[in-house]
Amino acid sequence: MTSLEYDIYNLPSAIMMEHKLSTEAIQTLNTYLDKELQDPNRKSLSGDLVGQIHQGEQLSMDFECDQLKDQDNQMIEEVRNFIE
């Protein structure tokens, strides 16, 4: 598992965390999304967005699938560390 770099922004009504993902994590996510995009039964979340996407789609991601489990666990751990 690679380490994540992140910044924290304290906004008046929220705390926003920005992650800098490794190239490996980005490739894993892109591979997953490319596969989802080819699935005719894919679930779109475009109806849940405030704005509109003019190119592409807002795909639903299953973070419990084996392919994304490592990235999900790593991000959860980073958030836990921040909260503590």
DSSP β-ladder status, 5-10 and 15-20: antiparallel
pTM: 0.60
Average pLDDT of every residue of the chain: 78
Sort residue 41 into left (φ over 0), alpha (ψ -120 to 50) or beta: alpha
Domain range summary for the chain, segments of one domain joined by +: 22-41+58-84
Long-range own/partner contacts, residues 52-60 (CB < 8 A, 24 or more apart): 59/33, 60/36
Provide the pLDDT for residue 26.
86
**pLDDT tens for residues 8-40?**
777 787 777 777 878 888 888 889 889 888 888
Q: Is the pLDDT of residue 5 over 80?
A: no
Measured CA to CA, the distance from residue 13 to residue 45 in angstroms comes to 25
Indicate if the alpha-carbon torsion angle 6, 13, 54, 65 is positive or negative.
Answer: positive
pLDDT (tens digit per residue) in 34-81 = 988 888 888 777 667 666 666 767 777 887 888 888 877 877 887 787
Residue of 30, 40, 39 whose CA lies nearest to 67: 30
